[in-house]
Amino acid sequence: MPPVNQSAIPENASSLVRRLGRSVLLTAEEVDYLETMQVNQAVVEKGDEFIHDGEHMRVTFLVRRGWIIRFKITPAGRRLIIGISLPGDFIGLHINFNHSSIYSASALTKASLALIEPVRILEIHRRFPVLASGLDWMTMRHSNILSEHKISLGARTAAQRILHFLLELWTRLEQVGMASAKGFDLELTQEQIGDCMGLSTVHVNRSLNRLGKERMLHIDKGFVSFPDVDRAIDFADFDDRFLTEFSTDPGNIGGKRRIAKN
């Protein structure tokens, strides 16, 4: 994990600022710009759909609080969740001004969103080249997550697929201060996990039971932990390089995920 840089970051900084500030020396001007571009905010209640497949994307969304799902509904009526957006994540970061959304998005929990005009993103590229590189890397990271999910769908068993996905969520939540070395609070139901992983609810339940019996996973009242994290990482073939955060340090290279246990 890169060292946290607190030089220009206030304690009440947004998840976006905290994420970029972990590995980049942010100036006070850069912090102020990132925070002020989030001034236009909206609260979305649990279950509310705020992006509809096929409608024009007028703004870029930034998740400030809560969990968001992006999904597609097939002609047969099957819902497939194509991604989970967490605090500090953009939705439609590099939108085309004449672009129609190719997915829907709704709040998995009550959520707070910043509604950012695309011109504000373009202004970052003009004024703050390091920040612009960080935002571009976030887009690449999003692509890496989708690629890793495709590998899971084609090359991992159901149990490996689910365990890999939960390790991914743990890593991502830890990066924005929403998880600890012990684990994290899961906001997904077994049905929703199935919609993410292309599995039936029955298959998800059986796989979770197996992982629990083999002490690679424990879920208690929605809190996810990994009793034998090293074994879980090896079984799931989890390599955290696809979640590497942006850094200007060429020596900051990720490896197999190892979260220190208490």
Domain limits, the chain: 37-127, 131-262
3-state secondary structure (DSSP) of residue 153: helix
pLDDT level of residue 104 (50, 70, 90 thresholds): very high
**Does position 255 have pLDDT exceeding 70, yes or no?**
no
**Does position 95 have pLDDT exceeding 70, yes or no?**
no
Residue 146: the pLDDT is: 92
Residue 68: the pLDDT is: 98
Residue 252: the pLDDT is: 52
At position 171, the amino acid (one-letter code) is T
pLDDT level of residue 118 (50, 70, 90 thresholds): confident
Can you tell me the distance from the alpha carbon of 18 to that of 224, in angstroms, rounded to the nearest whole number? 24
Residue 175: the pLDDT is: 87
pLDDT tens digits for range 194-206: 999 999 999 999 9
Tokens (6 digits) for 199: 């599995």
**Does position 113 have pLDDT exceeding 90, yes or no?**
yes
3-state secondary structure (DSSP) of residue 236: helix
Tokens (6 digits) for 173: 């939540």
Can you tell me the distance from the alpha carbon of 91 to that of 23, in angstroms, rounded to the nearest whole number? 22
Instruction: Give every CB contact of residue 129 below 8 A, 6+ residues apart in sequence.
Output: none
Third-level CATH fold of 131-262: Arc Repressor Mutant, subunit A (1.10.10)
Q: Give domain 37-127's CATH architecture.
A: Sandwich (2.60)
Can you tell me the distance from the alpha carbon of 223 to that of 211, in angstroms, rounded to the nearest whole number? 15
pLDDT tens digits for range 172-219: 999 888 999 999 999 999 999 999 999 999 999 999 999 999 999 999
CA distances (Å), 68 to each of 13, 71, 108, in order?
Answer: 20, 10, 5
pTM for the whole thing? Answer: 0.88
Higher pLDDT, 25 or 252: 25
The mean-pLDDT minimum among 4-13, 75-84, 230-239 falls in 4-13
**Does position 5 have pLDDT exceeding 50, yes or no?**
no
Can you tell me the distance from the alpha carbon of 122 to that of 65, in angstroms, rounded to the nearest whole number? 24
Mean pLDDT, all residues of the chain: 88
Can you tell me the distance from the alpha carbon of 106 to that of 48, in angstroms, rounded to the nearest whole number? 5
At position 16, the amino acid (one-letter code) is L
